[in-house]
């Protein structure tokens, strides 16, 4: 009840702030109605044109480079707490992260529902570069399929790089160190240098290194020894960019980015038969093998802009090469422990071989080794008109070609003949489950967007269309001797058109309203068709495997939104309110087949996501500014499915109903050239549901994640070139729980929780010139 009262109080306060906006703006407009210019106005390129953020007929939130640096927002996870209706499902391995916007949440399939761009280059969501030396981060909410194509069904995250500057030499650097409550130490360093190469060219280089100590301990299943802080992470992002403007009509930019991440175990805490008192707060795991992962990515970008008199012609070429490797302990997934399964597999009978931990065959179970290598090429060519009449055109073509090679090995380090024979396999087999795979994606698309503007530039109407043709052949070959085949040889094909339309009107120079429709889709993929060992599961579901199509259908979305924005003439106040309704059908969901411990994707159910977002910023004095955002999302099933579970009215997975954030910045003279600097932010994330319940029954209470509130603050001194600050993240030392699952413990009461970082205290030193 107290939380609900807080929700109402926050919403009431925000609406009160918005309510005073027209009066404030009216007074400001009366003073000066000759110009629409507003000091400090943010210009974004989210719609592939440079436009003021306050007059875009779409929901876009921009976080500027100054805010990224001053608050040390280094990752998308840091951004999440400041953006309403944005969340991230927990990572269960490098490359498994899912970004959720406005309730459009993937619950199956392999393709994302939100995509990531670096400038005009599509990059995998798993790359996650450190957010350093960026001009801004743009978060586009709702389907963006007309301009950005496949998988931008829920929205888009766009990182805009800082441009090389020919006007002069500049640079900055930062050092930081901190310690985690009950965990290890962190330290990091960043630096950037900008060098002119004459009046028409420049280069810019930056690097960011960050090492985060762990805070999870692992108890050895055999002897009880403890390995401390096993979930450490090391990240490095390096970038070099060049700009050349050989003439007044031509600009060429090239950049190369290298991103590397190494990690130990994930930030998980276990409950199982070896940790019978396990809980999220215990921060303990009991894994047989040390876990690790690595992710290395190279991204190249070449962009050219040519002014042809009647508009600008742009070519954007991108190349991504990414390697992901991981080593996970999954002995529990085998379900070979009789204490978990309730019966004894051959070779694991406690009356013959001793208990599971004492059984010599247990020591032969190998870790799960997986790897993915991606090579991706993209090319976009577009034309943006600059005509002298009311209608403007944006049109272009897009091409994508990618290849992913993958492998997995999960089995035994030596044969266990009695087990393999009983499972119908080769008695000399080493591999229980394994494969090599190759997946290609080839997409060709054309898009066009027409914009009409009234003579007084107050009214505007846009219409957009994108035609796409996409092929996704997927070929997975099981390793010889594999007892649980997952082979796939199928091509998913999608083609069609996506549409968008919007209308907007400047009610006053500082008041703007709009309405928008947009369509989106998430591609289907060739699905894994489990082998005969999964027959009992399909029989129980009443499914004949021979009738199952070799690929899932694409998900389709229709989004409707409307919003109003208000600002003051002097730029000291701004507010916006947006409402949305998204219809979501042919949802790709994952079915767990319990007998063979396999996952099977189906298209099942429909859902509606509806809600609102409110943002406001107020600078009552030159020293103080406060910003606030509230998001409400009600994302629920309209139609369940007898196979995958989930009944009408169930909440979609990993979607918080309420999100709330407030930020404060204060800077005032202290002594001489030095200022006092105080910054803080508070964010609230509502409870989330991680799993649908079985047909006819609600979700299990244990699959619901409780809400949490994070408070961060920093205080320091700064002058024109230096800043020294002490900071505290998660001041209240709350325990955020980002996810929970039984994947590691099929058939048992065991559970794994993904948890956030405890209180962190540190110091930061910055210098710039």
Give the residue from 574, 657, 538 showing the smallest Cα distance to 62: 574
Query: How far apart, in Å, are the Cα atoms of 370 and each of 278, 436, 701?
Result: 28, 10, 33
C-alpha span between 494 and 49 (Å, rounded): 28
Most confident of the following: 42-56, 357-371, 528-542, 717-731? 717-731
pLDDT of amino acid 463: 96
Task: Give per-residue pLDDT as tens, 145-203.
Answer: 899 988 888 999 999 999 999 999 999 999 999 999 999 999 999 999 999 999 999 99
Q: Residues near 211 by Cβ (< 8 Å), separated by ≥ 6?
A: 186, 187, 188, 232, 233, 234, 235
pLDDT score recorded for residue 508:
93
Identify whether 304 is part of a domain. yes
Alpha carbon separation from 328 to 29, 510, 755 (Å, rounded): 61, 55, 18
Is residue 47 over pLDDT 50? yes
Q: Are the beta carbons of 521 and 145 closer than 8 angstroms? A: yes
Indicate whether 680 belongs to any domain: yes
Q: How far apart are CA 19 and CA 207, in angstroms?
A: 44
The DSSP bridge pattern shows strands 226-227 and 292-307 to be unpaired
Q: How far apart are CA 448 and CA 500, in angstroms?
A: 10
**353 Cβ contact partners less than 8 Å away, ≥ 6 residues apart:** 347, 359, 360, 361
Q: Closest Cα partner for 520 from 407, 609, 402, 644?
A: 609
Check whether 1 has a pLDDT greater than 90.
no
Q: Which residues contact 406 (CB under 8 A, 6 or more apart)?
A: 370, 371, 372, 373, 435, 436, 437, 438, 439
Number of domains in the chain: 1
Give the 3-state secondary structure of 6-67.
HHHHHHHHHHHHHHHHHHHHHHHHHHCCCCCCCCCCCEECCCCCCEEHHHCCCCEEEEEHHH
- pLDDT 10s digits, 704-754: 999 999 999 999 999 999 999 999 999 999 999 998 887 665 556 788 899
Q: Is the pLDDT of residue 111 over 90?
A: no
Which range marks the domain in which residue 491 is found? 2-330+367-768
Asked if the structure places residue 568 within a domain, the reply is yes
Order of all β-strands in the sheet with 226-227:
226-227, 217-219, 284-285
Q: For the segment 247-303, what is each residue's pLDDT rounded down to a tens digit?
A: 999 999 999 999 999 999 999 999 887 888 899 999 999 988 899 999 999 999 999
| 758 compared with 2, residue with greater pLDDT | 758
| Within-domain flag for 360 | no
What per-residue confidence (pLDDT) applies to 423?
72
Question: What is the enclosing helix (H) or strand (E) of 418?
Answer: helix 417-422
Query: CATH code at 188?
Result: 2.40.170.20
Task: Confirm whether 355 is domain-assigned.
Answer: no
Q: Is residue 6 very low, low, confident or very high in pLDDT (cuts 50, 70, 90)? A: very low
* Among candidate residues 707, 757, 763, the one with its CA nearest the CA of residue 731: 757
504-522, pLDDT tens digit by residue? Answer: 999 999 999 999 999 998 8
Task: Please tell me the distance from the alpha carbon of residue 564 to that of residue 385, in angstroms, as a whole number.
Answer: 27
339 inside domain = no
Mean local confidence (pLDDT), 752-768: 96
On the question of pLDDT at 94 being above 50, the answer is no
Q: Are 113 and 98 in contact (CB under 8 A)?
A: yes
Q: Helix or strand or coil: residue 312?
A: strand
The secondary element (H helix, E strand) that includes residue 303 is: strand 292-307
C-alpha 314/C-alpha 309 separation (Å) is: 13
Q: Provide DSSP, 279-297.
A: -GGG-EE--SS--EEEEEE
């Amino acid at each position: 009840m107290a939380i609900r009262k807080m929700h109402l109080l926050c919403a009431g306060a925000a609406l009160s702030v918005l309510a005073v906006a027209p009066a404030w703006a009216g007074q400001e407009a009366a003073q000066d109605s000759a110009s629409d210019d507003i000091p400090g106005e943010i210009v974004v390129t989210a719609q592939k044109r440079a436009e003021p953020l306050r007059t875009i007929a779409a929901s876009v939130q921009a976080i500027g480079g100054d805010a990224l640096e001053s608050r040390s927002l280094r990752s998308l996870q840091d951004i999440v707490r400041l953006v309403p209706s944005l969340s991230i499902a927990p990572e269960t391995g490098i490359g498994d992260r899912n970004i959720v916007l406005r309730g459009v949440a993937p619950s199956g399939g392999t393709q994302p529902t939100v995509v990531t761009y670096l400038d005009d280059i599509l990059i995998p969501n798993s790359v996650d570069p450190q957010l350093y030396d960026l001009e801004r981060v743009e978060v586009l909410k709702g389907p963006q399929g007309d301009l950005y194509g496949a998988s931008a069904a829920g929205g888009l995250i766009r990182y805009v790089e800082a441009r090389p500057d020919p006007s002069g030499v500049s640079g900055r650097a930062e050092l930081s160190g901190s310690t985690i409550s009950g965990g290890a130490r962190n330290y990091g360093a960043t630096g950037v240098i900008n060098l002119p190469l004459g009046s028409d060219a420049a280069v810019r280089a930056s690097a960011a290194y960050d090492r985060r100590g762990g805070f999870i301990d692992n108890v050895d299943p055999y002897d009880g020894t403890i390995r401390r802080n096993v979930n450490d992470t090391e990240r490095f992002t390096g970038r070099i960019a060049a700009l050349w403007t050989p003439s007044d009509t031509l600009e060429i930019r090239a950049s190369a980015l290298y991103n590397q991440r190494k990690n130990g175990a994930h930030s998980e805490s276990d409950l199982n038969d070896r940790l019978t008192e396990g809980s999220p707060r215990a921060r303990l795991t009991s894994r047989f093998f040390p876990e690790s992962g690595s992710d290395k990515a190279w991204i190249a970008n070449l962009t050219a802009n040519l002014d042809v008199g009647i508009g600008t012609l742009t070519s954007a070429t991108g190349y991504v090469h990414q390697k992901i490797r991981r080593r996970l302990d999954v002995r529990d997934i085998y379900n070979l422990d009789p204490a978990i399964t309730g019966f004894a597999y051959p070779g694991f009978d406690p009356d013959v071989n001793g208990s599971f931990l004492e059984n010599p065959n247990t020591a032969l179970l190998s870790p799960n080794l997986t790897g993915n290598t991606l090579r991706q090429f993209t090319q976009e060519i577009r034309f943006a008109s600059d005509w002298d009449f009311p209608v403007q055109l944006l049109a272009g073509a897009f091409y994508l070609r990618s290849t992913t090679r993958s492998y997995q090995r999960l089995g035994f380090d030596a044969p266990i003949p009695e087990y393999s024979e009983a499972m119908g396999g080769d008695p000399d087999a080493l591999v229980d489950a394994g494969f090599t795979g190759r997946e290609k994606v080839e997409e060709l698309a054309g898009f066009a967007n027409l914009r009409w503007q009234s003579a007084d530039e107050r009214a505007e109407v846009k219409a957009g269309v994108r035609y796409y043709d996409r092929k996704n052949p997927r070929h997975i070959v099981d390793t010889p001797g594999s007892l649980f085949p997952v082979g796939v040889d199928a091509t998913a094909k999608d083609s069609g058109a996506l549409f968008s339309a919007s209308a907007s009107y400047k009610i006053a120079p500082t008041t703007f309203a709009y309405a928008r429709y947009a369509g989106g889709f998430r591609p289907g993929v060739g699905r894994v068709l489990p082998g005969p060992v999964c027959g009992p599961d399909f029989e129980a579901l009443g499914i004949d495997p021979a009738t199952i199509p070799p690929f899932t259908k694409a998900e389709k979305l229709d989004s409707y939104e409307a919003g109003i924005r208000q600002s003051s003439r002097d730029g000291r106040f701004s507010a916006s309110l947006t409402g949305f309704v998204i219809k979501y059908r042919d949802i790709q969901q994952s079915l767990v087949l319990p007998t063979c411990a396999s996952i099977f994707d189906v298209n099942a159910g429909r859902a509606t996501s509806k809600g609102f977002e409110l943002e406001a910023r107020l600078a009552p004095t030159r020293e103080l500014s406060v910003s606030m955002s509230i998001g409400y999302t009600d994302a629920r099933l309209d139609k369940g499915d007898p196979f995958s579970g989930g009944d009408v009215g169930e909440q979609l997975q990993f979607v918080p109903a309420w999100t709330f954030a407030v930020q404060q910045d204060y800077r005032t003279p202290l002594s001489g050239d030095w200022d006092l600097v105080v910054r803080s932010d508070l964010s609230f994330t509502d409870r989330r549901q991680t799993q649908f319940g079985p047909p006819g029954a609600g979700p299990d209470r244990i699959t619901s994640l409780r809400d949490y509130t994070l408070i961060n603050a920093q205080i320091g001194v700064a002058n024109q070139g230096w800043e020294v600050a002490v900071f505290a993240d998660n001041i209240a030392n709350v325990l955020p729980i980002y996810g929970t699952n039984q994947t590691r413990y099929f058939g048992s009461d065991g559970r794994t929780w993904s948890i956030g970082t405890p209180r962190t205290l540190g110091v930061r030193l910055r210098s710039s010139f």
